[in-house]
Amino acid sequence: MSVLRIRGFALPEGEPVDLYADGDRWTSDPVPGAELVAEGWILPGLVDAHTHPGAEAPGDPLDDGILRSDLRAHLESGVTLIRSPGLADDPPDWFGHGDQSPRAFHAGPWIAQHGQFMPGWGRRPDPAELPAVAAEQAARTGWAKIVIDWKPDDQVIPVALLREAVTRVHAAGGRLAVHTQHTAGGAVAVEAGVDTIEHGMGLDPQLLPPMAERGIALTPTLAAISSSLATILADPERARRSWAVPGASVHAALTAAAVEAGVTVLAGTDSRPHGAIGGEIRALVAAGVPAHDAIAAASWTARSYLGLPGLADGAPADAVVYDADPRTDLTQFDKPRAVVLRGKRVL
């Protein structure tokens, strides 16, 4: 099998590189006879840090065919690494492996309180058992996901209980993501010291500096929330009654402020269709996030946060190649020239 080779200008620095795939690792040492498969602007493989592939609609069971299709859509968009903070069920063994699936981290099924979250999805342990359930999940897959608030009048998980879950997840060697879309939930998440806040709508901006200090990342799923807001505002009566409008209306500004405050912001698409990471990058830029930082949230920063290096000797052989510098032409994310996963060209 011939060795794959790419060359061009590598982000984040924009310096010229010439890389060879030594199996599933990059090397800059020339390999005679290597096949040059693409030239252009090179990024470490993109990351979708909040995606739920494998089910057509909320509450549906995990479907193998839908899962394969969703993962292919991710690959075609340049995404070679996903994090699924919540799945309809435990995925099959091939998930996250081989040429047809991006590398993957997942948190198994969501963990929620009784009477909350999507019917048919997730686990709802008794409150006293919640920390143990989260720790067991994290021990198996490295991540657990807790829905700490849902509807506006629902009870938020008590901070002492969430702090115990954090402690036990960390003791198991894992990390804890939490779903929150209300101000009270965001406050509890930061106080408890979770690892990532998913969505974060309604988050008090005064909590951004403590988040940065404690290494709590934010995955704002901005494009999905902005799209939902536009749909709500199109119906004045619905907009008048919607609890989501106040938080969603300032979510873009909150996201830009998080980047400015030094919070690690991760790009995640959340909803269907899959393969829309370019839309999330553009939503970040539209919110006022510098293009370099918006792309970082979907590439080198996200990879680093999840424990994978970028385009360096010995790093996993993942990359996406574009015809032009995507920092100055965000439409490049809609048309990768080449996608490399595990040292093989998959697009």
List CB contacts of 247: < 8 A, sequence separation 6 or more.
181, 182, 183, 201, 202
Q: Which two tokens stand for residue 130?
A: 């919640």
Mean pLDDT of 198-227: 98
Question: Where in the chain do CATH 3.20.20.140 domains reside?
Answer: 46-305
What residues pair up with 199 in beta bridges, in sequence order?
A: 180
Question: Where in the chain do CATH 2.30.40.10 domains reside?
Answer: 4-43+312-345
Phi first, then psi: what are they for 277, rounded to 5°? -60, -30
- What dotted CATH number matches 46-305? 3.20.20.140
What residues pair up with 41 in beta bridges, in sequence order?
A: 9, 322
What amino acid occupies position 264?
Answer: T
Q: Using CB atoms within 10 Å of the CB of residue 155, give its burial: 0 to 12 exposed, 13 to 18 middle, 19+ buried.
A: middle
Phi-psi region of 342 (alpha: psi -120 to 50; beta: other; left: phi over 0): left
pLDDT on residue 102: 98
Separation of alpha carbons 232 and 106, rounded Å: 31
Q: Confidence band (pLDDT; 50, 70, 90) for 1? A: low
Separation of alpha carbons 171 and 157, rounded Å: 20
CB 212 within 8 A of CB 262: yes
Q: Confidence band (pLDDT; 50, 70, 90) for 114? A: very high
| pLDDT tens per residue across span 165-192 | 999 999 999 999 999 999 999 999 999 9
CB 30 within 8 A of CB 253: no
pTM value is 0.97
What amino acid occupies position 28?
Answer: S
| pLDDT tens per residue across span 314-336 | 999 999 999 999 999 999 999 99
pLDDT on residue 137: 98
Separation of alpha carbons 109 and 86, rounded Å: 5
* Residue with token string 């894992």: 174
- Say yes or no: domain 4-43+312-345 is CATH 3.30.2270.10: no
The overall average pLDDT reported for the chain is 97
With a pLDDT cut of 70, the percent of the chain lying above it is 100
Tell me which residue of 319, 341, 305 sits closest to 24, measured CA to CA: 341
